[in-house]
Amino acid sequence: MGLIHKINCVMIKNHSGRKAVKKTQGKRNLTGRKARRLKAFQGHLAAGTLWSWAAERQDAC
């Protein structure tokens, strides 16, 4: 249960951050597609580190 809660917290943080980025993206939307792909990649990395971190925490318990 704690694992799911942590992921939800991160998801909410990512969404709020994404909105802030979208505002600035309107000014220079030439790199919009590239930035979106990069953000998705960063999201995958963050999810991977979160999963491994959560797994380590569970092992510690």
Task: Please state, in angstroms and rounded to a whole number, the distance separating the CA atoms of residues 45 and 24.
Answer: 23
Q: What is the pLDDT along the chain (61 residues), one digit of tens a residue?
A: 566 656 665 655 555 555 555 555 555 555 667 777 777 777 777 777 777 777 777 776 5
Instruction: DSSP for 8-20, please give it.
Output: HHHHHHHHHHHHH
Name the percent of the chain in helix, strand, coil, to the closest 5: 90, 0, 10
CA end-to-end distance (rounded Å), the chain? 14
> Which amino acid is located at 4 in the chain?
I
